[in-house]
Amino acid sequence: MNGPAVLNHKPKVLVTRRWPAAVEHELSERFDVVFNTQDRPLTPADFRDALGKFDAILPTVTDGMGPEALGVAKAQTRLLANYGVGFSHIDPKAARDLDLTVTNTPDVLSECTADLAMTLMLMVARRAGEGERELRAGAWTGWRPTHLVGSKVSGKTLGIIGFGRIGQAMAKRAHHGFGMKILVQNRSPVRQEVLDAYGATQVPTVEDLLPECDFVSLHCPGGPANRHLINSSRLNLMKPDAFLINTARGEVIDEHALGQALMFDCIGGAALDVFDGEPRIAPVLLHCDNLVMLPHLGSATRETREAMGRRVLDNITDFFEGREPRDKVL
């Protein structure tokens, strides 16, 4: 295996989507950078071509880097420095076959993603999306006692599936800000002192968690292992007035099953920031009034998007100066 080495020239780097201007400027000063000025998703053929021309490629979640995109005999590229914490869009076997190092950007987006998850939870519980649509349509007839009555959030039980940095940031907001009881399901045991910080209790399985919760928030990784983790049978375990929130990855939910559960009032509602196959939205979801949808805004603050870019910059600098990047995942 060829490890990182110090180069005697500026490494050639491809940035697959537009980044905040301040970070693009910093990249340009330190590397020989090509930007995707059209800001459109690249095709598998684009990536196969790029693998023969660039020392590093800086993809995002919108870039499907599976066997087709990485299907070359050998590559000049040695580093995929992902802009984002999730990297399920990068096929690990195909990356290893090409001896590619893969990095991500953890930590820096946890707070803002948890803020967005709280936003979604409050919106769906208090029917904010329905209310705004009614106002914009000119259909509001004035205050009345039975109009758009929603659900209280404070003091309710929140189930968190996936208790990493973002899940813990969500628990902090919900428990300390809204007095919520926290239940946790995680693929590995969570240290007791971490649970105690949020008054949380860990349960063994998703099936143990779902029937006990008024709200369920997903913060688990995507990828094949968690595809359709929330399916029709698990939706049936939820309380009929419970709410589902997803800021993780779209593929974690079977969207057809969710659409059916919403249309037949099997659950109280749902709020999604991510979608399976985005930007395509499953048609069944578009007809669900008790669903709040946002266009993948979890990390969409200026501070976070710049911090993500600088984290990528740190990773590629470490790599090409002969150090192991701190955010190496493959």
Rounded to whole angstroms, the Cα distance separating 153 from 155 reads: 6
Q: In the structure encoding, which two tokens stand for residue 240, read together?
A: 């009929």
Give every CB contact of residue 297 below 8 A, 6+ residues apart in sequence.
116, 273
Contact (CB, 8 A) for 47 and 67: no
CATH number listed for the domain at residues 110-293: 3.40.50.720
Contact 223, 66 (CB under 8 A): no
In angstroms, the CA 250 to CA 228 distance is 9
Mode of pairing for the β-strands spanning 79-81 and 181-185: unpaired
Tell which residue, 212, 176, 214, has the closest CA to residue 196. Answer: 176
What are the C-alpha distances in Å from 22 to residues 19, 81, 280, 300? 8, 18, 30, 15
> CB neighbours (10 Å) of residue 54?
22
The SS3 assignment for 328 reads strand
Amino acid 208: pLDDT: 98
Class of domain 12-108+302-320: alpha beta
Tally of residues, the chain: 330
Task: Give the closest residue to 226 by CA, choosing from 294, 175, 274, 270.
Answer: 274
Instruction: Work out the angle between the directed axes of helices 165-172 and 110-125 (0-180°, nearest 10).
Output: 50
Rounded to an integer, what distance in angstroms lies between the CA atom of residue 320 and that of residue 291? 46
- pLDDT for the residue 9: 79
pTM, two decimals, is 0.92
Residue 200's H or E segment, with its range, is strand 200-202
Structure token pair of residue 157? 């039980």
- Give every CB contact of residue 19 below 8 A, 6+ residues apart in sequence: 27, 83, 305, 309
Question: For 255-305, how does the pLDDT look when each residue is reduced to its tens digit (9 = 90+)?
Answer: 999 999 999 999 999 999 999 999 999 999 999 999 999 999 999 999 999
Residues labelled catalytic = 249, 278, 296
Q: How far apart are CA 248 and CA 194, in angstroms?
A: 21
The rounded Cα 208 to chain-centroid distance in angstroms is 24
Residue with tokens 């399920």: 88
d(Cα 312, Cα 14) in Å, to the nearest integer? 12
Residue written as token pair 């990485």: 70
The residue ranges of every structural domain in the chain are 12-108+302-320, 110-293
Cross-strand pairs, 287: none
pLDDT of the residue at 308: 97
Q: Look at residue 119 and give its three-state secondary structure.
A: helix
pLDDT at 1: 40
The stretches in the chain having pLDDT less than 50 are 1-7
The answer to whether 243 and 268 have CB atoms below 8 angstroms apart is yes
pLDDT tens digits for range 93-106: 999 999 999 999 99
The two domains 12-108+302-320 and 110-293 share their CATH topology (first three levels equal):
yes
99, two tokens: 């001896």
Integer Cα distance of 109 and 170 in angstroms: 12
Structure tokens, 208: 């143990």
Q: How far apart are CA 321 and CA 56, in angstroms?
A: 13
Tell me what pLDDT residue 226 has: 96
Q: CA 320, CA 317: separation in Å to the nearest integer?
A: 5
DSSP 250: G
Q: What pLDDT score does 4 carry?
A: 44
